Amino acid sequence: GNSVTQMEGPVTLSEEAFLTINCTYTATGYPSLFWYVQYPGEGLQLLLKATKADDKGSNKGFEATYRKETTSFHLEKGSVQVSDSAVYFCALRGYNFNKFYFGSGTKLNVKP
């Protein structure tokens, strides 16, 4: 079946620290992979995506590389800010199916 597994949170970092949030997936075929971010009281916003193996998605200093050999799509940022505090969701969607599968979300707290 199709599923996404994320590291459990919360993750607490100091400002300017390096961030990694792990995400691995199981899927039939060749899915597209996404990271969404949810700020307090808001909906999910697309952060970045990658559509095939070895693609790197990037946005706002965040990046993630689609690794088919390890079925992973880890989110990284070199220097986090307080404003990055949010919940981050990894998700996949198959080439030939409609539904998105979401991970359980990882809460990030960045302290000044």
Partner 1 sequence: EPEVTQTPSHQVTQMGQEVILRCVPISNHLYFYWYRQILGQKVEFLVSFYNNEISEKSEIFDDQFSVERPDGSNFTLKIRSTKLEDSAMYFCASSEEGQGNSPLHFGNGTRLTVT
Site for partner 1, rule CB under 8 A: 32, 34, 36, 41-46, 49, 51, 89, 93-105
Report the nearest approach of partner 1 to the CB of residue 50 (Å): 9
Instruction: Give dist(CA 61, CA 5) in Å, integer.
Output: 23
Q: Which is nearer to partner 1, 72 or 100 (CB)?
A: 100
Report the nearest approach of partner 1 to the CB of residue 79 (Å): 26
Report the nearest approach of partner 1 to the CB of residue 48 (Å): 10
Q: Which is nearer to partner 1, 51 or 72 (CB)?
A: 51
Q: Which is nearer to partner 1, 70 or 99 (CB)?
A: 99
